[in-house]
């Protein structure tokens, strides 16, 4: 990688572990149709594309089908790819859009299926909360909503990402474009503010799990 002295080379991209160029791999040669060039792209990105779909909960077979479809679409538009983005970004864009459409179709199919969730069984009185419980829960949530709304946007977002889905601080920092330290301090401040007014409703605010690090 970029070796230098005092030269700003270690961009975020260059810090990541690069896929080493395989010296045994035949160099890409010009050929009609550019299939050789495309094969090189395929070999570099096939597994990452599989990983992308695997992370979305697709089965192995689905991952392979979707990856295949991604590269088929990529090939069809390869000629018009003008280098506005890195090839990896371009291929991933196709994969994301494919997954978006597939998710949309799945939601539509689910709605059309008219499914009844099991826990909505009207014959099971034990599964529902009483009116008083519901009112208390509603009131607590109303208070929480009011307090969360008062938080500055950055603090609110950090809190939501950390507490709601337990993202790591590194992830939060990347998602919001802040430093890890900022993400930590914002979550800590948000907790303090909520604790002042909501500690009796949410005892876990007293037990700051962020002390465990993140």
Partner 1 sequence: MARNTTLSEDLGALAEEQRSRLGEPPTTEQLIAYRDGRLPEEEAERIRDRLAVDPEWAAVYLDLKRFPDLDRPAAGGDSDADVDDAWRTLSSQLDRTETGAGKVIAFRRAAIRPAAGRALLALAATLILGLGLTWLLVGRDRPQPLPSGEYHVVEVTGATFRDARLAVPRAAVGLAFHIDATALDPPGKVVVALLDALDHVVRQERMAVEAGQRKIVFRVASSSLEVGRTYQLGVWPSDTSPEEPALIEMVFTPVFED
Q: Which of 102, 174, 182, 188 is close enough to bind partner 1 by CB under 8 A?
A: 174
Q: Which helix (H) or strand (E) holds 105?
A: helix 87-113
Phi-psi region of 213 (alpha: psi -120 to 50; beta: other; left: phi over 0): left
d(CA 21, CA 38): 16
**Is residue 65 within a helix (H) or strand (E), and if so which, with residue range?**
helix 60-76
Applying CB under 8 A, the site for partner 1 has a residue count of: 105
User: With the C-alpha atoms ordered 162, 168, 170, 174, is the resulting torsion angle positive or negative?
Assistant: negative
The number of beta carbons lying within 10 Å of the beta carbon of residue 92 is 17
Q: Rule CB under 8 A: which of 58-77 touch partner 1?
A: 58-61, 63-64, 67-68, 71-72, 75-76
Min separation Cβ 42 and partner 1, Å: 6
Q: Which tokens sit at 34?
A: 């550019």
Going 146 to 150 to 153 to 155, the CA torsion angle's sign is negative
When asked if residue 23 is in the footprint of partner 1 (CB under 8 A), the reply is: no
Residue 141: which of 66, 193, 100, 194 has the closest Cα?
194
Q: Which of 37, 180, 185, 188 binds partner 1 (CB under 8 A)?
A: 37
CA dist., res. 37 & res. 28, Å (int): 6
What is the x/- site pattern for partner 1, positions 185-214, by CB under 8 A?
---------x------xx-xx---------
| Interface with partner 1 (CB under 8 A), residue from 35, 105, 106, 181 | 35
User: Is 8 a residue that touches partner 1 (CB under 8 A)?
Assistant: yes
Q: Does the footprint of partner 1 cover residue 181 (CB under 8 A)?
A: no
Taking a C-beta distance cutoff of 8 angstroms, is the pair 205, 177 a contact? Answer: no
Query: Can you tell me which of 86, 107, 124, 210 binds partner 1, judged by CB under 8 A?
Result: 86
46 touches partner 1 by CB under 8 A: yes
Choices 45-53, 106-114, 115-123, 181-189; region in contact with partner 1 by CB under 8 A: 45-53
Interface segment toward partner 1; rule CB under 8 A; list 36-44, 108-116, 117-125, 180-188: 36-44
The answer to whether 146 contacts partner 1 (rule: CB under 8 A) is no
Q: Which of 123, 130, 211, 213 binds partner 1 (CB under 8 A)?
A: 130
């Amino acid at each position: 990688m970029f070796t230098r002295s005092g030269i700003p080379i270690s961009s975020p991209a260059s810090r990541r572990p690069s896929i080493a160029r395989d010296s045994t791999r035949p160099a890409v040669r010009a050929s009609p149709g550019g299939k050789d060039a495309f094969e090189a792209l395929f070999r570099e990105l096939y597994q990452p594309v599989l990983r992308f779909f695997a992370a979305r909960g697709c089965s192995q077979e689905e991952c392979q089908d979707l990856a295949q479809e991604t590269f088929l679409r990529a090939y069809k538009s390869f000629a018009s790819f003008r280098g506005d983005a890195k090839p990896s970004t371009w291929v991933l864009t196709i994969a994301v859009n494919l997954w978006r459409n597939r998710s949309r179709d799945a939601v539509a199919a689910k709605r059309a299926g008219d499914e009844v969730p099991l826990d909505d069984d009207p014959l099971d009185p034990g599964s529902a909360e009483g009116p008083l419980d519901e009112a208390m829960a509603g009131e607590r949530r109303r208070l929480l909503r009011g307090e969360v709304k008062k938080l500055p946007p950055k603090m609110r977002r950090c809190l939501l990402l950390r507490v709601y889905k337990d993202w790591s601080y590194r992830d939060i920092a990347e998602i919001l474009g802040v430093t890890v330290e900022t993400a930590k301090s914002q979550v800590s401040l948000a907790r303090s503010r909520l604790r002042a007014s909501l500690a009796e409703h949410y005892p876990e605010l007293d037990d700051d799990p962020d002390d465990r690090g993140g």
